Structure 1
Amino acid sequence: MPELPEVETVRRYLQNHLPGKSIQQIEIFLPRLIKNATSQQFAAALKNKKIKKVERRGKYLFLHIDGPQSLLIHLRMTGRLVYEEEPFSVLPRFNRIVFQLTQGRMLYGDVRTLGCLWLIPSVGLTGVKGYDTLGPDGTSPDFTAAYLRQKLKDTTRTIKSFLLDQTNVAGLGNIYVDEALFAARITPLRRCNRIGKETAVRLHDAVVRVLEEGIVHGGTTIRDFINGSGKEGQNQQNLCVYGREGRPCPVCGTKIVYIKLAGRGTHYCPHCQK
């Protein structure tokens, strides 16, 4: 699933190309991707409306539209949002929605069709539970070491499951949680209330660092992720533990272990992350 760095990479590209353009027409090939409106309602609400800006919170993209309703998108497992300038290429395979703009077009593609699009109020709560209950963004000033320490003290959950919970920290998924825990030298099996102040600070710094590095390298492409221009990310070349089961740890040489933790695949070094 695209995580904060991947979605931020898409946002930055779209923000450079979409504001000021109006949506002239919408072709919807898979109506069930729209979660709170019919295809007709969705198209009518956005047609002839101008895109003002593109924001991101956690793993969600928020396209602010000049009108009472805007567009919220979650890419889920294989969703992709691409902007094309004219002349257009052949419509890509697995494309599900086409937004024809005053200049160019925005394409929503999705192989596994698990993505979600919502019409939401342009101001105030969105009515989308997963969005309205998000914790502080993993790269925002609100995500501080003090905030993290306080949250950790109040739960006995494992640190892996805690970090995956979007109400605690928004934007983290399997890839960057595994990488942050490795960078902080914390086993994913550690109980949150057993993490001391110094370790919490180290973890906070590791989370911020791996997310920022992921953004710098254009996101991580394991299988499906492409950015807003249709190109793959490069951060997979910098991963230390994720997807490296059985391979040597880049620090100590111990074989990376893969386990299932709370139903999620987890990679870690049993020596560095004792």
Structure 2
Amino acid sequence: MPEMPEVETVRRTLTPLIKGKTIEKVILWYPKIVATDHDKFINELPGKKIIRIDRYAKYLLIRLNDNLTIVSHLRMEGKYHLTTPEAPKDKHDHVEFIFTDGTALRYNDVRKFGRMQLVLTGTERQTTGIGKLGVEPNTPEFSEQYFLSSLKRKKKNIKNVLLDQTVVAGLGNIYVDETLWQSKIHPLSLANKIPADKVEDLRKNINETIKIAIEKRGTTVHSYLDANGEVGGYQEMLQVYGHAGEACPRCGTTLEKIKVSGRGTTFCPHCQVIYK
């Protein structure tokens, strides 16, 4: 699943491709991608101009004039690409926005898990899943005190807490495994038992890792591509994710992989301390 760095990279690469363009027509080849009223989506968007693209956590916010926003979540394998209406349709193309300048934006999704919603700008927290999210990394809200007090209220393991998005938003399996390894915290540690100094280590590592991953244009380990069809670069920096069975880069112990709530989780059994 594209995580915060990947979605931010999509935002940055998609913006120059479609900003300022006016929608002429919308085609829904697979209507279930749109979670709001399908007729309204098709009938209200023609004539609307794309003002800019914002992002919150893993959500893209495509801002239109007349106070409308398309909220887009890529889920596992969603991708956008610019083409023309005449171009042959790929079997995994599910939504097409045709622009007045003769170009078209297509949404492609192998698993069909991605979703779009058309909402009034400013109502995203009331009408979409954004309302359930915690704060983002590298923001003033993601403070030392906020993170510590939030984890003290959580009796679940830290891997689950970081994945559930209600404390810190935008992390997924890749960056959770990486930052827990960096912080020497076992993924099955109870969140409310982790010492304050280790919580602060984790916060700093989350901030730094997300920052660098954005600079590297995200991580491609499966199918992630940006809006230009290019892969990311952070996969070259991964220390534990995807390296189960190899030697820990820090101590040499063989990295292990377990399932945590159904998610593959790689860690070092020697370096990463479990707090219970």
TM-score bin (small chain): over 0.9
1:62: how far off? 0.5
8 Å CA contact retained: 2:27, 2:95: yes
Task: Give, in whole Å, the separation in 1 of the partners of 2:182 and 2:81.
Answer: 32
8 Å CA contact retained: 1:120, 1:126: no
Alignment-derived partner of residue 25 in structure 1: 25
Alignment-derived partner of residue 165 in structure 2: 166
Q: How does 1:144-163 map to 2 (within 5 A)?
A: 144-163=143-162
Aligned residues: 272
8 Å CA contact retained: 1:149, 1:200: yes
TM-score (norm: length of structure 1): 0.94
User: In structure 2, do the counterparts of structure 1 residues 178 and 88 end up closer, same or farther at CA, with 3 Å as the change threshold?
Assistant: farther
User: In structure 2, do the counterparts of structure 1 residues 90 and 140 end up closer, same or farther at CA, with 3 Å as the change threshold?
Assistant: farther
> 1:3-54, CA deviations, whole angstroms, 9 ceiling, x for partnerless residues?
001000001112233221111111211011111112x321111111001110
**Counterpart AA for 2:264:** G
Task: Give, in whole Å, the separation in 2 of the partners of 1:23 and 1:87.
Answer: 12
**CA RMSD across the alignment:** 1.7
8 Å CA contact retained: 2:75, 2:113: yes
- Aligned residue for 1:109, secondary structure, equals strand
**Counterpart AA for 2:122:** V
Alignment-derived partner of residue 198 in structure 2: 199
Alignment-derived partner of residue 101 in structure 1: 99
Task: Give, in whole Å, the separation in 2 of the partners of 1:141 and 1:100.
Answer: 39
The reply to whether residue 113 of structure 1 matches residue 117 of structure 2 is: no
1:90: how far off? 4.3
1:263: how far off? 2.3
> 1:199-229, CA deviations, whole angstroms, 9 ceiling, x for partnerless residues?
1110001111111121111111121111011
Q: Structure 2: 5+ residue runs without aligned partners?
A: none
Task: Give, in whole Å, the separation in 1 of the partners of 2:25 and 2:123.
Answer: 27
Task: Give, in whole Å, the separation in 1 of the partners of 2:252 and 2:104.
Answer: 48
Alignment-derived partner of residue 54 in structure 2: 55
8 Å CA contact retained: 2:85, 2:98: no
Q: How does 1:1-274 map to 2 (within 5 A)?
A: 1-38=1-38, 40-84=39-83, 90-103=88-101, 104-274=103-273
Task: Give, in whole Å, the separation in 2 of the partners of 1:154 and 1:187.
Answer: 19
8 Å CA contact retained: 2:85, 2:104: no
TM-score (norm: length of structure 2): 0.93
